Homo-oligomer: A and B are copies of this chain.
Amino acid sequence: MDLRLLRYFVAVAEELHFGRAANRLHMSQPPLSRAIRQLEADLGTTLLHRSAAGVSLTPAGATLLTEARNLLEQSEQVRARVNAAASLTVGILADSTDPGIARLADSYRRLHPTVTITIRDADLTDPTCGLRAGLVDIAITRAPFDPTGLHLHELRADPLGAVLRTDDPLATRDRLTLADLADRAWFQFPPGTDALWQSFWNGGQSREGPVVRAVQECIQAVLWNGTIGLAPLGHHLSEELVVVPVTDLPPSPVVAAWPATDTNPLIPAFVQLAATAYRG
């Protein structure tokens, strides 16, 4: 059985007219007639009643119409699924300053040269980097966020510090507590941001402060407006900023997250590679 013939048959069965169907298929009528006869011979049944009055479906033809539509639909899905298995989009959040992700992508490309891997920088609105919206296949992000329907894999946990201007009175301290920062203005995330995540990144409390949508905006908020935020230690954000450890905050985990329903075989391989890359 040939999918081409099924496509032809569906056209004829829908039009109930060889001429119109041929037109729709951008071909002439005689080869179409022949193709349908061929399909009938292949299946060993008559699919259409032909008469000068018109064309009508036999019971076998009616069955084939629905079955063929179904099969053609599924063949398209196969195409889509195979294409999905040939490319991987990874969303990253807040770690755009981290060179690790670039090295990770490179080593993945070396391992799977046939796979197109794309890194997408997400904005802070969505800690799952568009995972639920289907924009990315995997998110590399920082917990916490609502994990419903997601598989998670913790890659690393970073101690957190307060991001301060170098001329801040606290900037010379080698450690801080949340109490030291209680009177400062904190970031505000846009509405719709995961509540868990928002409260954590504000030091576990609801805070007042300017709205930020991207990492660059956070840095600017600290530099220009004297607000304060949290960041993993060891990242060099700017010449004019320091990150001072805050001792009474739990470390911030970096997690890989992907939809529990996603069967893309590239995902486990990527997560494993990410795990070794982040461990080192």
| Residues of A bordering B, CB below 8 Å | 1-4, 43-47, 49, 58-60, 62-64, 67-68, 70-71, 74-75, 78-79, 81-86, 112, 114-115, 263-266, 269
A81 to B86, CA, bound (A): 34
Residues of chain B within 8 A (CB-CB) of A43 are: 79, 82-83
Other-chain residue from B62, B64, B86 in contact with A60 (beta carbon distance below 8 A): B86
Known: A58-B86, A59-B115. 5 other contacts (CB 8 A): A45-B85, A59-B264, A63-B81, A64-B78, A64-B82
Q: Whole-angstrom distance from the CB of A49 to the nearest CB of chain B?
A: 8
Residues of chain B within 8 A (CB-CB) of A62 are: 85, 265
A269 to B112, CA, bound (A): 57
Residues of chain B within 8 A (CB-CB) of A82 are: 43, 45, 47, 60, 63-64, 67
Number of copies of this kind of chain in the complex: 2
Residues of chain B within 8 A (CB-CB) of A67 are: 78, 81-82
Residues of chain B within 8 A (CB-CB) of A2 are: 2-4
**What are 25 residue pairs bridging A and B, where the CB atoms are less than 8 Å apart in the complex?**
A1-B75, A1-B79, A2-B2, A43-B83, A45-B82, A46-B86, A47-B82, A49-B114, A58-B86, A58-B112, A58-B114, A59-B85, A59-B86, A59-B112, A59-B114, A60-B82, A60-B115, A62-B265, A63-B84, A63-B85, A63-B263, A63-B265, A64-B78, A64-B82, A67-B82
Q: Whole-angstrom distance from the CB of A44 to the nearest CB of chain B?
A: 7
CB-based nearest B residue for A58: B114
A64 to B80, CA, bound (A): 10
Task: State whether B79 touches A46 (Cβ < 8 A).
Answer: no
Task: State whether B85 touches A60 (Cβ < 8 A).
Answer: yes
Residues of chain B within 8 A (CB-CB) of A114 are: 45-46, 49, 58-60
A179 to B121, CA, bound (A): 91
Q: Whole-angstrom distance from the CB of A64 to the nearest CB of chain B?
A: 5
